Amino acid sequence: MLIAAARIVTASATSSGASAVLAPGYVSCADGRIVAVGSGPPPGKPDLQLRDGVLVPGFVDLQVNGYFGIELAAADFADWLTISRRLVETGTTAFMPTFITSPLDDMANALRRAAEFHGKLADGSQGARVLGVHAEGPFISPRRPGAHNTEWIVNPDPGAVGTLLAAGGGNLRMVTLAPERDGALAAIKQLTAAGVLVSVGHSDATAQQVSAAARCGAAMVTHLFNAQRPMHHREPGVVGQALADSRLTSSLIADLHHVSGQVAAIAFAAAPGRICLITDAAACAGMPPGGYVLGGEPIELAEGDGTPPKRSDGTIAGSALRMDSAVANVVATGVGLAEAVAAGTRIPADLIGRPDLGRIAPSAAADLTWLSDDLRTIATWVGGQQYFGPHLG
């Protein structure tokens, strides 16, 4: 397949750290991989001619609690398959199912069940690739629980961490925890030794405690600004350390409700190349207003474009965000298109050690999304196979 496009954002970092934009450009794919990328007209007659919009790598979302009425932690394989097949409508071609805090035994059971599904959905042959599970909790701070149930929060002692690792069977890929909890630094070492990405989140940690977590192997901060100690001019907190520390990349929920547009722009300016976009989507995403669940407990999605769901006490509980909308929202704040696309593609892929995803480059997977000029998904390919959009062959 040879694609010619009016614009291509490759998301491949240049020597200056920026992402390349080709206008026009072409991409050649074979056997599910990209074999050539270039600027200017293609070397031969293209199979597809994209005369407007922009071709970008498929989005990589590291935090999806649910979608289309389905909560992933409690879902069966058929429901996982539904989400995998339909997430491509939003431009997402790889995602990380996320389980929020629940009783430890329940989390372990959910991880065991997920381990049965992961292998069937990891290669992209059914739709968006499943990247493994993100456990957001239960090792978080009761001072910053957000929508998590504080009764189920526990310390990350070696036994509890080992329980989740064993239940995940190698499919536990990311854990969000609070580094100020007893045993947290040892837990970070235990998790990173097992190949798990550790992220600081739902945390009341000081900047010094976040720095200590980074020294032990933590590489990320979960949903920057939300459910964490804010930045103060005398105590930088989680936010200040996240923005200043080159060892840390922060995820951001860019629905413009969790974080204002001005603050999102500040984050991109303060930490260039270290912001990744996530949806933190709950089961209400892609659905009409009404009642849904997150972590097995009720949430309500009200009327309003982009408004996030809430618990009965008014606490924001996940989002109803799409990844293409996240990119569009960030661009609307003044962030460059290339930087916004990289934040939704290459940067999260690199965080989880997947250099084959999130970029348009030779040898990378042919996971591609064609966006309209207003950055809405028109068509999506996973491994070179079109899963969404009008027939373009």
pLDDT of residue 20: 87
Q: Kind and range of the H or E element at 160?
A: helix 158-168
Residues 6+ apart with CB under 8 A from 269: none
Cβ atoms of 115 and 79 closer than 8 Å: no
pLDDT of the chain, 393 residues: tens digit per residue = 999 999 999 998 765 666 789 999 999 999 999 999 999 999 999 999 999 999 999 999 999 999 999 999 999 999 999 999 999 999 999 999 999 999 999 999 999 999 999 889 999 999 999 999 999 999 999 999 999 999 999 999 999 999 999 999 999 999 999 999 999 999 999 999 999 999 999 999 999 999 999 999 999 999 999 999 999 999 999 999 999 999 999 999 999 999 999 999 999 999 999 999 999 999 999 999 999 999 999 999 998 777 899 999 999 999 999 999 999 999 999 999 999 999 999 999 999 999 999 999 999 999 999 999 999 999 999 999 999 999 876
pTM check: above 0.95: yes
Q: Per residue in 142-194, pLDDT tens? A: 999 999 999 999 999 999 999 999 999 999 999 999 999 999 999 999 999 99
Which residue has 């001019």 as its token pair?
233
Q: Per residue in 195-242, pLDDT tens? A: 999 999 999 999 999 999 999 999 999 999 999 999 999 999 999 999
DSSP string, 219-254: -EESSTTSSBPPP-SS--HHHHHHHH-TT-EEEEE-
CA angle 237, 238, 240 (to 5 degrees): 65
As a whole number of angstroms, the distance between CA 171 and CA 348 comes to: 17
As a whole number of angstroms, the distance between CA 238 and CA 228 comes to: 6
Residues 6+ apart with CB under 8 A from 177: 137, 139, 140, 156, 184, 187, 188, 198, 199, 200, 201, 203
**Of the candidates 137, 109, 132, 111, the residue with the CA atom closest to the CA atom of residue 121:** 132
Count Cβ neighbours within 10 Å for each residue of 101-131 and write b for 16 or more, e otherwise.
bbebebbbebbebbbebbeebbebebbbbbb
Pairing of strands 129-130, 133-136: unpaired
pLDDT of residue 18: 60
The catalytically annotated residue of 61, 245, 255, 280 is 280
**Maximum distance among all alpha carbons in the chain?**
63
Query: For 351, phi and psi rounded to 5 degrees?
Result: -60, -40
Q: Kind and range of the H or E element at 331?
A: helix 323-332
pLDDT of residue 16: 60
Residues 6+ apart with CB under 8 A from 304: none
Record the tokens describing residue 145, joined without a space: 């629980």
Residue 280 falls in the annotated catalytic set: yes
Residue 175 has a CB neighbour count (10 Å cut-off) of 29
DSSP string, 178-199: -TTSTTHHHHHHHHHHTT-EEE
* Domains along the chain with CATH numbers: 2-55+360-388 (2.30.40.10), 59-351 (3.20.20.140)
pLDDT of residue 15: 57
Cβ atoms of 278 and 60 closer than 8 Å: no
